[in-house]
A and B are shown apart, each in its own frame.
Chain A
Amino acid sequence: MTPRPPVGPTPLPAYGDTARLVWLAQALGAPGLAIAWDTQAAGRWRGPLGSALQLTLAPDTAHRVHRLQVARAALDHAPEGRWSLRIERTAPRGLLGPGLRDGDPVLGVAECLNSWPRAVLLRRSFLWLDGQRVDAALARRWAGARRDLPLDPAPKPAHLAHLDLPALPPLPDAEAALRLTLQLHHQLLARPGRASPGSATDAEAPASSSPGLQSPQAGAARAHAHAADHAAPASHSPADTGDGDGDHLAKGPVDGTPPQPVPPGGADAAEADTAATHDDTPLQASRPRAPRLADVTWHDEWDAEQGHYRRAWAAVHAQPVVGDDLQYLTGVRQRHAALARQIRRRFQGIEADAWLRERRRPEGEQIDVDSALDEWLQRRHGTCPEGRVYQSQARQRREVSVALLLDLSGSMNFVLRSAEAAPEPDLDAGPLWGVAAPAPIPTEAPRRVIDVVKDAVALLCDALQGLGHRFAVFGFNGDGREQVDFLEIKAFEADWSATQAASLAAAAPRGATRMGAAVRHAALRLSREPTRRKLLLVLSDGYPQDRDYGPRRDDPSHGVADTAKALREAEHGGIATFHLSVDSAAHDYLRRMCKPDSYRVVRDVEALPRELLNLARLLRVR
């Protein structure tokens, strides 16, 4: 699918508004609800039936209408909602039409409606009738929503305008609504002397509007409905014109362009477009080869199948990264100004309550009873006490070391989908991470996963620096068990500065992910730290794999088991671990690799910088 053109003069809505609606959707319990933005009118009353997961909202409608739409969509997914219509239960009750051939896939409401003649008309009737039922249920369930309902009344379909309907009976569920719709529909089709339902509607619709029921909303809407009625063939083609943009949105990304991976062999090409990779020729020439060979550590590897360690199996080559982009840090702070401010604020909040009692002080606000007692005893014994009998509140001495371990394997070079492309309906994605992407940052060069990860890391480093923690940034990639590269981007001793940030900018992804060895090496570095508390934070984009990491390259079980073992070893050595993944399929293996509370999957890689806000809580150590 070609990317959608930019949305005219109306800019994409601000991130915040979308996030708010997505959170609202989540609160109301709509499973997998995605919210798409479109310039077309909200698709509620004429919207696609095949796409229960897409809610199309126009950016220029009022917020209360947005909220109402979200509430309706949530209710659609409730047990009595529209999408709960179970066709396998419905079929025996005669709700399936003659248009359905044996073997046709029947999945939901759309197929059911399409199986009848004049499917478009039927669909319109159903949407209207069932929509009113859902609204009535909405008013029952959320009393406060009643106030919003008149803002977006159902436009009565033109072909029903002439029908004098009595007050609607209360309809318990979608099946009842479908039954009633079919009754109406058959009445309509059975009317004598009609050439076609469409023309009859045209003649009669403007003349009458039924009392007691809601009248058609706007002339434009009605005209649109008429056009659709005329154009629609009386078959069960699902692609009727009324579906409009929402349908395209729903279907498009399925056959959309996948992100362009850089093949393992194409690492050279990938490195060519980074500003300064650590393997760029000048740097390459200046880096001494010999020390690199000298700084090799052989780590064990856990063989889960055999149930024992392979001793001294993986060679970790530690090497510093040098970069020359001294403007990088400034750029990051500018690109994410608002977020950086927010992170700073949140971390400052932690800082504010990080006070600790200091005892045995020569001066202070309170008497320290224990030391006063000691002093008194000393005086009784004739020695000369120092008079350190006070306690005071002092800013706490930080006792935390954090090691950030970045997966710098080749897959990090994946190009992020363009901001203009339609959002992908990820059926598994929770609404929070499925859509709540921040507004895209306008850049000329295509942004890759690694770019976002680096930005996020730079922001986190800023925050850690502000907290006064000791921290280091390491990267790793590799090519076989004898060449696991451990890239030292920032050492514990170094201050976080433009130079260190340049090293971060220069770290280039390539090769594979031999995670266990890298975790062991990072843990080794952490274990030498003098601090009382240590945290290893792993940031990766996929499962651990390497060409000789287990018997089969495509089977992650060996790498997962080895990494899990390495993490347990670290924890045993008093190092807390946390794993952050940007791989949407990561729940699977992270569940096996990490302890329940110690990992997190970021659905959308662009939400990663924001995810750091939540890390503040993790780093709150006293």
Chain B
Amino acid sequence: MSLPWYHPIGDEMDLFEAAWSERLPVLLQGPTGCGKTRFIEHMAARVQPRHHPGPGVALVTVACHDDLTANDLVGRHLLLNEQTVWTDGPLTRAARGGAICYLDELAEARRDTTVVVHSLTDHRRLLPIEKTGELLQAHPDFLLVASTNPGYQAAFKALKPSTRQRFVEITFGYPPPAQEAAIVAHEAGIEPAWAQALAQVGERLRAMQDGGLGDHVSTRALVHAGQLMRRGIPPRRACAVVLAGVFGDEPDAGAAALDVVDLVFP
């Protein structure tokens, strides 16, 4: 299995390896586009399972949203030729077969949905499936990983403390400029000088946004700008189209962002 590229920033890989060895559930915290998903893809391909040969376990990703029900996670009966057939949901599939189940943006899910993971996250490692009466003991290579986006919709969209304290929390931020430049250069396949300039744009705009203005410019957005530049779009134009949405409907802030871009790119 080829390893998805990931550039470590701190000790997150060691932490994850340790949590994996103990099969402790992991919560990845960090702003949008800072590399959480890439990290888990990388780690899933890297960890050593107990019951399969070679490195890497399957990764089952669920994008959580406020309409996600417990059935969507655990499974449901389906109709097949006048018969009901039980179909495992993604969580059950991962727990049964021994995979990493990645619940992306767990805080977006309804609170009554998130409690179904509780029994999987303690020493029991059990998933009770109400509809079939099955009490599923999780596979030894099953691991629950979730991600949340802190400081975002602070008042209502926070995990319940009882859910949150079940996880080992690994916090991500945007990488420092030099490392971010390296990431952008690799991912977008552009000259290091351009990548450095893009990283500088990101750093500057984040400083501007610390006052609560718009959403932060993500590393992913910078990579997208780099990809456009590689295709021959002039840097200023590439930044303008990628960063346009960052400031929402704050026209002055958007103009100030383009000023920053103008200062960085000749």
Instruction: Tell me whether A346 is interfacial, beta carbon within 8 Å.
Output: yes
Q: Which residues of A contact B262 (CB under 8 A)?
A: 67, 144-145
B85 vs chain A, min Cβ distance (A)? 10
Is there contact, CB below 8 Å, between A373 and B84? yes
**Interface status of B1 (Cβ within 8 A of chain A):** no
Among B66, B249, B257, B263, find the residue whose CB has the most chain A CB atoms closer than 10 A.
B263
Chain B neighbourhood of A346, CB < 8 A: 248-249
How many Å from the CB of A575 to the closest CB on chain B? 10
Cβ–Cβ contact A621 & B211, under 8 A: no
A144-B253 contact given A373-B79, A533-B156, CB 8 Å threshold: no
Q: Across the interface, do A620 and B256 meet the contact criterion of CB distance under 8 Å?
A: no
Query: CB within 8 Å of B: which of A568-592?
Result: 576-578
Q: Decide: A600 and B212 in contact? CB cutoff 8 A.
A: yes
Q: In the complex, which residues 545-579 of chain A have their Cβ closer than 8 Å to any Cβ of chain B?
A: 576-578
CB <8 Å contact, B154 and A598: yes
Interface size class for chain A?
35 or more
- Tell me whether A597 is interfacial, beta carbon within 8 Å: yes
> How far in angstroms is the closest Cβ of chain B from A358?
10
Contacts of B212 in A (CB 8 A): 600, 614
Query: Which secondary structure dominates where chain A touches chain B?
Result: helix
Q: Is the CB of A27 within 8 A of B265?
A: no
Residue from the list B152, B155, B204, B211 in contact with A578, Cβ < 8 A: B155
Q: Please give the distance in Å from B87's CB to the nearest CB on chain A.
A: 10
A-B contact count (CB 8 A): 114
Q: Which of A392-445 contact B (CB under 8 A)?
A: 430, 432-433
B252 contacts the other chain (CB 8 A): yes
**Contact yes or no, A29 B265, CB < 8 A:** no
What B residues does A357 contact at CB under 8 A? 67
Question: Which residues of chain B come closer than 8 Å to A143, judged between CB atoms?
Answer: 197, 264-266
Question: Are A433 and B211 in contact, CB atoms less than 8 angstroms apart?
Answer: yes
A147: interface (CB < 8 Å): yes
**B76 CB within 8 Å of chain A:** yes
**When the two chains form their complex, are residues B66 and A146 in contact, meaning their CB atoms are under 8 A apart?**
no
User: In whole angstroms, what is the CA distance A21 to B257 when docked?
Assistant: 10
Question: How many residues on B have C-beta within 8 angstroms of the other chain's C-beta atoms?
Answer: 42
Q: Interface code B210-223, partner A: CB below 8 Å = 1, 0 otherwise?
A: 11110000000000
Are B249 and A26 neighbours in the complex by a CB distance under 8 Å?
no
Chain A proximity of B221: nearest CB distance (Å)? 16
A576 & B156 in contact (Cβ 8 Å cutoff) = yes
**A532 (CB) vs chain B CBs: closest residue:** B111
> Which residues from 23 to 43 on chain A have a C-beta closer than 8 Å to any C-beta of chain B?
23-24, 26-29
Which chain B residues (208-255) contact chain A, with CB distance < 8 Å? 208, 210-213, 236, 248-253, 255
Closest to A68 in B: B263
Structural contact, A144 and B154, CB atoms closer than 8 A: no
Verify if A345 is at the interface (C-beta below 8 Å from B): yes
User: Please, how many angstroms separate the alpha-carbon atoms of A617 and B67 in the complex?
Assistant: 19
Q: How far is the CA of A533 from the CA of B252 in the complex (A)?
A: 34
- CB contacts (< 8 Å) of A17 on chain B: these are 252
B155, A618: Cβ atoms under 8 Å?
Answer: yes
User: B260 on the interface (CB 8 Å rule)?
Assistant: yes
A29 and B207 contact, CB distance less than 8 A: yes
Q: How far is the CA of A28 from the CA of B263 in the complex (A)?
A: 10
Contacting residues, chain A, for B255 (C-beta < 8 A):
20
Bound Cα distance A617, B214 (Å): 10
A597 lies within 8 A of B260 (CB): no
Separation in Å of the A107 CB from the closest CB of chain B? 27
Contact B249 A27 (CB under 8 A): no
Q: Which of A345, A430, A576 has the most CB of B within 10 A?
A: A576
Q: Report the separation of the CA atoms of residues A559 and B179 in the bound assembly, to the nearest whole angstrom.
A: 46
Q: Mark A245-286, 1 if CB is under 8 A from B, else 0.
A: 000000000000000000000000000000000000000000
Known A26-B211, A144-B265, A144-B266; contact A622-B155, beta-carbon cutoff 8 A? no
B260 is contacted by which of A27, A349, A369, A578 (Cβ under 8 Å)? A27
Does B53 touch A at the CB level, under 8 Å?
A: no
- Max chain B C-beta neighbours (<10 A), residue from A17, A20, A430: A20
Q: Is the CB of B252 within 8 A of A27?
A: no
Residue of A26, A145, A600, A617 touching B263 (CB-CB under 8 A): A145
Closest to A70 in B: B259
B204 touching A598, Cβ below 8 Å: no
Closest 8 CB pairs of A and B: A27-B208, A597-B154, A23-B256, A432-B211, A576-B155, A143-B266, A142-B263, A622-B66
Sample (10) of A-B pairs whose CB atoms are under 8 Å apart: A16-B251, A20-B259, A27-B204, A27-B259, A356-B67, A372-B79, A373-B76, A373-B77, A376-B79, A598-B154
A23-B252, A27-B208, A432-B213 are known; give 20 further A-B pairs, CB within 8 A.
Answer: A20-B252, A20-B255, A21-B256, A23-B256, A26-B208, A27-B256, A28-B204, A28-B260, A142-B264, A144-B264, A145-B262, A147-B266, A373-B84, A535-B156, A576-B155, A578-B154, A600-B212, A618-B153, A619-B155, A621-B156
